[in-house]
Amino acid sequence: MNMNSSRIGVFVCRCGDKIEPLVDLESLGSQISGIPDVVTCRTLNYPCTRPGMEEIISEVAKNRLDRLVIAGCEGRLMLKKFETELEKMGLLKGQIDMVNVRGHVASVSDLPPQEKAQKAAKLIRASAAELSALIPTPQAISNLTGPVMIVGGGISAYMAAKELDQNGIDFMLSAPTHDPNEVIRRLHLAYPGERESHDRVKKLAVEVVQSPHGTLLPPGELTGLSGVTGDYALTFRDKETGESRTYRAGLIIACIDAELHPSGPSFGHDGETVLQQSDLEEYIWTRGAPRGRVLFWVSDYETGQEEFAKLSAKGAWNMARHIRSCSPQSHAMILYDQRMEIPLNAGERALNRALGIEWIPCDKAVRPTVQDRQITFCGTNDHLEHDIEWDLLVISPERALGGEGLRTAEVLGLVHKHDRFLTGHHARVRPEMVGKEESYLAGSGRYPCDLDEALAQGRRAALKSIDMLKKAENHELHVPRVVCVVDPDKCIGCGQCQELCDCGGIGVEIGPGGGLPRMVDPLVCTGGGTCAAACPYHALTLQNNSNDQREARIAALSSHLGPDEVVAFACAWGGLPAADIAGKMGMKYDPNVHILGIPCVGQLDPSVMARAFLEGAPGLLLVGCLPEECHHSFGVDHSWSRVSLIKKLLSLSGFDKRRIALAHADLNRPEAFIRTVESFSHAIKTLGPIERTPNNLSKLKTLYNMARDNSRVRHLLSAGLRRPWEDVYRGDQRHALEYDRDFTAVLVEEYMQQRLIDVMQNERRPLRINELATALHEDERRVASCLMGMVSDGMLHFSHKEREAYYALNN
Amino acid sequence: MEKITFQINDREVEARPGWTVLETAREYGIEIPTLCFHEAVLPSGACRLCMVEIKDGDWSKLVASCIYPAAKGINVYTETERVSNVRRWIFEMLLAQVPASPEIADLAARYGVTRTRFPVKDPEEMCMLCGLCQRVCEEVVGLSAISTVDRGVHKRVGAPFLRPSDVCVACGCCVNICPTGAMRALFDSIRGETKTTLTQLTA
């Protein structure tokens, strides 16, 4: 079958009394039949029930349909059912689109059925145009193979390795030491108070070291990572010799532990009488259990890490237990903030009573003060200041990722924002993405936890890897259909995409000149698409959801809009569900607003926005998520920059910049969404349509060409894709005013050049300065200086005839 | 494919294997009210509002049409006295259980039920525990961010342990599918507080 044949079937749902009486379906049917590539159009009672679905399947077979538009209700609820049922007919994700006629047309206004049919037809036409422009890819299957590389030096590595070993999967282990005794010796540095588990962990380490499936790498520092899932290359530098060696692996498991540091000087830490928890463990290792009065102060509330108070308290209790059972003469006490619940279960409480470990609450209002051999605190019952005398004071550690763990995480691209811990993956998008990480992450570097939890995380990470490898072995590891792909012929390796990418899906390719970020990891890419919209050369494409498709969609809709009608792109996580819910609740809003759904407004290339105006839309509204709630992290913010570009270009062309606007919506506040669209559509009504004069059309064409093809503008735009106050990106932050002024100056310059080029291309003959100035309605001197610049850049040449200069385009 | 002929309201209808009575009726434009049925998820037969009567001579039984498979030769009636009696009882119970839901009040009014003789336990209640939110989360979204918490008369809808769910992707499918409007109020407790709110949104 020719994949680009484009045979579209449209199925319109009557939906009981929800669509049929409100929309003139007969008229809608005849309007749809005229849409290019539409082979068949049927009106069904309920396409989504068994009878309707069977009808669709037989139509697909009869007419060899390869793309479907279902005009009914919310795609968010129903699309999956159609995709699942029609997969066996060869229709894959991306080849079926849904138009919410019920929620965006039928229920939201009081228009007569005939006019609602027109509105529905416009939306269906747009959807069909998008499907016509689709170049469907075949379903790719990943042939992922091992080995699994375990890096990071965390203790969870051993649990992960054991799990892989038991499943017969080869692994490579990079750890600071491979001697099980040494592993135990160092364990307390990250996990104090876990003495009871030492034998167990040692046994685990012995098993792993002896595993026939394992390769133990010499101790080294991870310095480089290239490639994508299934084909990673990791470079380690040997600590002693300084030599670098590269290993290849299919998957990576990162086992990273946080570091424990003593608190600041006000806690009195001196390493001798005032210790931090892991110092005490070291003390016990070298000198045995201390005698005398040992006071554990759960100081996490005071250090600002109150969420870890229970963890510290548990560690303290474990050590207190050890001290009490080693030397019955010693006295163990735990001072804790009254806000903390004592983290002991019934059995542990009984043991606590038997051992006589004292838990002393202190009032949260007064911070305990450390003095020599005593601490003062405020009692919770009497509010008196009490003193406790101690021989050894043990305070809670401050926990944070640091040192080598942090360096490893940075090389692996796990650091999304600078925080004390690694957040794991943050993208909250479609379920297939949930819990998906660029590499599996385990250990207290992710979130402070006890040893058991860290080991369990290691095991889970290994199980996920095993699951993926098994799937790949059975040829069931499907590559997601909507992911980015790079065209290596267009890519110059500028790395803008990698800097913007929120999912870590841009991989590094090792070329002759070093690492170039110019490949996509399809198993990591979330399909956000802001990277594709940012590419100055259109080298990145979101497959099965491309920029060409969106341009086709907006063009088909804009060219059929009336003078007051506006287009709104609504993101699938904010604007679109808000519109769906408004429609379901029967809320009314201005029927002139035509809503198009899009997975994220960050996908919208400025060329799509410019295309809307070129094709005749008087206004374009973008409704994204709330700031900070963007499911693709920065999509809304990037869109802000692109909208701002179009605003500047509109102003330069003499149009009102209010014709484009970015809005934010929360799906659970449909009434606010309605206020947003009504306000925008009112503004456009006041402005009126853009007159389709030849001069206006030529300016809009220039605007579109600049947004789509001017690589200088696009480069500058993507380099500055952030609001001036955002500092989560690498690189220098520019002064907000300077950046804006420079950017505007470039636009002014490029706009005039583009206008001149467009005029010359139209006229197809050498032109004089005054002719060009008249065509542009511009001052002759400004045109002249621009022409001189273009000549010296080699874009134009000029010749003299009768003492007048004539300018023409090169080639 | 094999055809199954039977009768709905004395009218001959034709179904195919796998169709339910409800689907067949809808295909023939015969209206049966539903609440816990949604095409996006598998039917569960929980709300019993779609009850129809199947008659065989002087013997008859009431079945939930959303889960009753079409069978050859059965006689289905959607508007008999028994059916409307059951429907009225269900509507009255719903009106007592979810008095705050305008959607339920509207639907009940369409079938002539405007008051209830059952005591109203909570005048603010909107959720009738149809489970659509839980099912859509599991079957369509592919997650289990919502579940029913507690049992029996204490049963209610919420995230596990009634704390904002880490699993929730805030897609809003549950809000969209909820037939009573209850999910709108519950949604924020499941997805967690949004990090930012615009002033106009909180207004």
How many Å apart are CA A565 and CA A620, to the nearest integer?
10
- A78 and B40: CB-CB below 8 Å? yes
How many Å apart are CA A371 and CA A368, to the nearest integer?
10
User: Of B21, B130, B13, B143, whose CA–CA distance to A49 is shortest?
Assistant: B21
**Amino acid present at A408:** T
User: Encoding tokens for residue B117?
Assistant: 């003789």
- A428 and B197: CB-CB below 8 Å? no
> Could you read off the pLDDT of A602-620 as tens digits, one per residue?
999 999 999 999 999 999 9
- B194 and A626: CB-CB below 8 Å? yes
Contacts of A80 in chain B (CB under 8 A): 40, 140
Contacts of B69 in chain A (CB under 8 A): none
Residue of chain A minimizing CA distance to B133: A77
How many Å apart are CA A530 and CA A721, to the nearest integer?
10
Rounded to two decimals, what is the model's pTM?
0.87
- B19 and A50: CB-CB below 8 Å? yes
Contacts of A52 in chain B (CB under 8 A): 27
Q: What is the pLDDT of residue A502?
A: 74
- B176 and A628: CB-CB below 8 Å? no
What number is the average pLDDT over the span B167-189? 90
Instruction: Report whether A330 contacts A289 (CB < 8 A).
Output: yes
Contacts of A431 in chain B (CB under 8 A): 141-143, 169
How many Å apart are CA A167 and CA A160, to the nearest integer?
11
- B200 and A428: CB-CB below 8 Å? no
The residues in B 70-99 lying below 8 A from A, measured between CB atoms, are none
- A668 and B172: CB-CB below 8 Å? yes
Q: CB pairs below 8 Å between A and B: how many?
A: 113
User: Encoding tokens for residue B78?
Assistant: 């959607």
What number is the average pLDDT over the span A685-714? 93
**Model confidence at A723: pLDDT above 90:** no
User: Of A595, A496, A583, whose CA–CA distance to A119 is shortest?
Assistant: A595
**Model confidence at B202: pLDDT above 50:** no
Q: Give, as one character, the DSSP assignment of residue B35.
A: S
Contacts of B16 in chain A (CB under 8 A): 50-51, 54
**Model confidence at B203: pLDDT above 50:** no
**DSSP string covering A699-754:** HHHHHHHHHHH-HHHHHHHHHT-S-TT---SSSPPPPHHHHHHHHHHHHHHHHHHH
Who contacts A717 (Cβ-Cβ below 8 Å, separation ≥6)?
A: A534, A606, A641, A642, A645, A743
User: Encoding tokens for residue B197?
Assistant: 């709110």
Of A48, A432, A669, the CB nearest to B201: A669
- B169 and A626: CB-CB below 8 Å? no
> Could you read off the pLDDT of A690-703 as tens digits, one per residue?
999 998 999 999 99
Nearest Cα of chain B lies from the Cα of A736 at a distance, in angstroms, of 23
Q: What is the pLDDT of residue B200?
A: 37
Instruction: Report whether B76 contacts B167 (CB < 8 A).
Output: no
How many Å apart are CA A478 and CA A141, to the nearest integer?
5
**H or E stretch at B52:** strand B51-56
How many Å apart are CA A219 and CA A260, to the nearest integer?
22
| A27-36, A395-404, A627-636: which is most confident | A27-36
Q: Give, as one character, the DSSP assignment of residue A219.
A: S
> Could you read off the pLDDT of A736-795 as tens digits, one per residue?
788 889 899 999 999 999 999 988 988 889 999 999 999 888 899 999 999 999 999 888
- How far are the Cα atoms of A501, A522, A630, B43, B187 from residue A634, in angstroms, in the given order? 9, 20, 6, 39, 24
What number is the average pLDDT over the span A36-44? 95
- How far are the Cα atoms of A3, A16, A263, A307, B109 from residue B65, in angstroms, in the given order? 42, 17, 68, 52, 21
More confident residue, A113 or A240: A113
The residues in A 666-725 lying below 8 A from B, measured between CB atoms, are 666-669, 672, 675
> Could you read off the pLDDT of B15-25 as tens digits, one per residue?
999 999 999 99
Q: What is the pLDDT of residue A19?
A: 94
pLDDT-derived band at A806 (thresholds 50, 70, 90) equals very high
Nearest Cα of chain A lies from the Cα of B27 at a distance, in angstroms, of 6
Q: What is the pLDDT of residue A660?
A: 97
Instruction: Report whether A568 contacts A123 (CB < 8 A).
Output: no
What number is the average pLDDT over the span A24-44? 95
- A588–chain B Cβ distance below 8 A for any pair: no
| A99-103, A472-476, B121-125: which is most confident | A99-103
Instruction: Report whether A202 contacts A159 (CB < 8 A).
Output: no
> Could you read off the pLDDT of A59-88 as tens digits, one per residue?
999 999 999 999 999 999 999 999 999 999
Nearest Cα of chain B lies from the Cα of A416 at a distance, in angstroms, of 18
More confident residue, A3 or A169: A169
**What is the maximum span of chain A, computed from C-alpha positions, in angstroms?**
113
What number is the average pLDDT over the span A408-433? 67
**Model confidence at B162: pLDDT above 80:** no
In SS3 terms, A417-483 reads as CCCCCCCCCCCCCCHHHCCCCCCEEECCCCCCCCHHHHHHHHHHHHHHHHHHHHHHHCCCCECCCCC
Name the average pLDDT for chain A: 90
Regarding beta strands A331-337 and A293-297, do their DSSP bridges make them parallel or antiparallel, or are they unpaired? parallel
Residue of chain A minimizing CA distance to B184: A668
* ipTM of this predicted structure: 0.93
Burial (CB count <10 Å: 0-12, 13-18, 19+), residue A110: exposed
Q: What is the pLDDT of residue A427?
A: 52
- B167–chain A Cβ distance below 8 A for any pair: yes
**Model confidence at A639: pLDDT above 90:** yes
User: Encoding tokens for residue A228?
Assistant: 């994508």
- A46–chain B Cβ distance below 8 A for any pair: yes
Question: Is CATH 3.20.20.140 correct for A265-398?
Answer: no
In SS3 terms, A484-502 reads as EEECCCCCCCCCHHHHHCC
User: Encoding tokens for residue A593?
Assistant: 């607003």
Regarding beta strands B59-64 and B75-77, do their DSSP bridges make them parallel or antiparallel, or are they unpaired? unpaired
- B170 and A74: CB-CB below 8 Å? no
Q: What is the pLDDT of residue A431?
A: 46
Q: What ranges do the domains of chain B cover?
A: 4-79, 81-125, 132-193
- B176 and A76: CB-CB below 8 Å? yes
Mutate to test the interface with A, among B176, B177, B189 (most CBs of A within 10 A): B176
**Model confidence at A435: pLDDT above 50:** no
Radius of gyration of chain A (CA): 33
Q: What is the pLDDT of residue A421?
A: 81
> Under DSSP, is residue B19 helix (H, G, I), strand (E, B) or coil?
coil
The residues in B 126-155 lying below 8 A from A, measured between CB atoms, are 136, 140-143
**Model confidence at A428: pLDDT above 60:** no
Of A48, A50, A672, the CB nearest to B201: A672
Of B23, B177, B201, the CB nearest to A49: B23
The residues in A 626-645 lying below 8 A from B, measured between CB atoms, are 626-629, 631
User: Of A123, A110, A113, whose CA–CA distance to A19 is shortest?
Assistant: A113
Burial (CB count <10 Å: 0-12, 13-18, 19+), residue A743: buried
Q: What is the pLDDT of residue B197?
A: 46
- 3.40.50.300, 3.10.20.740, 3.40.50.1370, 3.40.50.1820: CATH of B4-79: 3.10.20.740
**Amino acid present at A698:** S
Contacts of A580 in chain B (CB under 8 A): 172, 176
**Model confidence at A596: pLDDT above 90:** yes
**Model confidence at A344: pLDDT above 70:** yes
> Could you read off the pLDDT of A308-342 as tens digits, one per residue?
999 999 999 999 999 999 988 899 999 999 999 99
- 3.50.50.60, 1.10.10.10, 3.40.50.150, 3.40.640.10: CATH of A714-727+736-809: 1.10.10.10
- B175 and A51: CB-CB below 8 Å? no
**Model confidence at A49: pLDDT above 80:** yes
What number is the average pLDDT over the span A348-372? 93
Q: What ranges do the domains of chain A cover?
A: 1-136, 148-258+401-473, 265-398, 484-541, 714-727+736-809
**Model confidence at A4: pLDDT above 60:** no
pLDDT-derived band at A434 (thresholds 50, 70, 90) equals very low
User: Encoding tokens for residue A473?
Assistant: 């072995």
Q: Which residues are A392's β-sheet partners?
A: A294
Residue of chain A minimizing CA distance to B31: A16
- B201 and A626: CB-CB below 8 Å? yes
- B176 and A74: CB-CB below 8 Å? yes
- B27 and A51: CB-CB below 8 Å? yes
Mutate to test the interface with B, among A83, A585, A666 (most CBs of B within 10 A): A666
Q: Give, as one character, the DSSP assignment of residue A237.
A: E
Instruction: Report whether A165 contacts A205 (CB < 8 A).
Output: no
User: Encoding tokens for residue A468?
Assistant: 């993926």
* CATH topology match: A148-258+401-473 vs A265-398: yes
- 3.40.50, 1.10.40, 1.10.1760, 3.30.70: CATH of A1-136: 3.40.50
More confident residue, B68 or A507: B68
- B120–chain A Cβ distance below 8 A for any pair: no
Nearest Cα of chain A lies from the Cα of B134 at a distance, in angstroms, of 13
User: Of A13, A8, A6, whose CA–CA distance to A99 is shortest?
Assistant: A13
- B67–chain A Cβ distance below 8 A for any pair: no
Q: Is the peptide bond before A147 cis (omega within 30 degrees of 0)?
A: yes
Percent of chain A with pLDDT over 90: 66
> Could you read off the pLDDT of A528-572 as tens digits, one per residue?
899 999 999 999 999 999 999 999 999 999 999 999 999 999 999
Q: What is the pLDDT of residue A438?
A: 46
Q: What CATH architecture is A148-258+401-473?
A: 3-Layer(bba) Sandwich (3.50)
User: Of A758, A752, A743, A756, whose CA–CA distance to A712 is shortest?
Assistant: A743
User: Encoding tokens for residue A584?
Assistant: 């379901």
pLDDT-derived band at A720 (thresholds 50, 70, 90) equals confident
- A81 and B27: CB-CB below 8 Å? no
- 3.90.600.10, 1.20.1250.20, 3.30.70.20, 3.40.50.1970: CATH of A484-541: 3.30.70.20
Nearest Cα of chain A lies from the Cα of B73 at a distance, in angstroms, of 19
Residue of chain B minimizing CA distance to A668: B184
Q: Catalogue the E-assigned strands of A338-397.
A: 358-362, 369-371, 374-378, 385-389, 392-395
User: Of A714, A713, A735, whose CA–CA distance to A724 is shortest?
Assistant: A735
